[in-house]
Amino acid sequence: MTSYDPCIDDLAHIEALDRQRFVVLRAPSKVGAAFSHIQGTFRERLQGRPVSYPARAHVTLCGFAAGTPLHSVQELVGTWAPKASPLRIEIDRVSWFPPPFQIVIVEVRKTPALFSALAALRAQAEQRRLVVSTVVPVEKWRFHMSVAYCSDFGEAAWQEVIQLAETLRAPAVHDDVGVVEVVAFDDGREYSGGVYALEAHAHE
């Protein structure tokens, strides 16, 4: 039995996500390596600062409110995934979400396939009356991989982070992903709620 590889390993962050569920794409080798290089730059420059870092590169497609039954999300993804095509994670640029979030991100190109997959997943969640925590409308959603969470930074420190982000060029790499994962947080731990194949057109 292989050990679980968490997306988040910061205990305070895990506690903040308690009882929430997420549908994520884990970044494969090329994108993951590029992400690690970018994150390493911030880790080096922000040593000793109050920063939280995701443990693994991942793209969140949808989050569900605390208390959403895990089996309800599993049933949703089990219905949606076989009708979704494999998806491409294509790095676009280093960017950020402004205050109050103050999150450094690697922005992922919004391909038609990603947009369609997210729209279908959101629509089916709404049909099942599941409460989505990622409430930004689909057409305005910025696909991304979070690099560093800096919400505790003051204005001057955050401006330093922005200046660093503006100097970094993201490599033009991409990977195709054939599975999504349900990630769950309960009782101070992250664990997998299942891995689901994106099967539409996969064998054509």
Q: For the chain, list the domains and their CATH numbers.
A: 11-197 (3.90.1140.10)
**What average pLDDT does range 50-74 have in this prediction?**
97
Q: Nearest 5°: CA angle at 102, between 98 and 108?
A: 75
Assess whether pLDDT exceeds 80 at residue 201. Answer: no
pLDDT at 204 over 60: no
Average pLDDT of span 106-110: 97
pLDDT-derived band at 117, boundaries 50, 70, 90: very high
CB 89 within 8 A of CB 178: no
What is the C-alpha separation between 156 and 112, in angstroms, rounded? Answer: 38
Q: Which residues contact 101 (CB under 8 A, 6 or more apart)?
A: 151
Mean pLDDT, residues 54-58: 97
- Write out pLDDT tens, residues 3-43: 899 999 999 999 999 999 999 999 999 999 999 999 999 99
Contact between residue 175 and residue 27 where contact means Cβ atoms under 8 Å apart: yes
The encoded tokens of residue 109 equal: 């190109």
Mean pLDDT, the chain, whole residue set: 95
CA distance 49 to 188: 24
Residue 135's pLDDT is 84
Is the per-residue pLDDT at 182 higher than 80?
yes
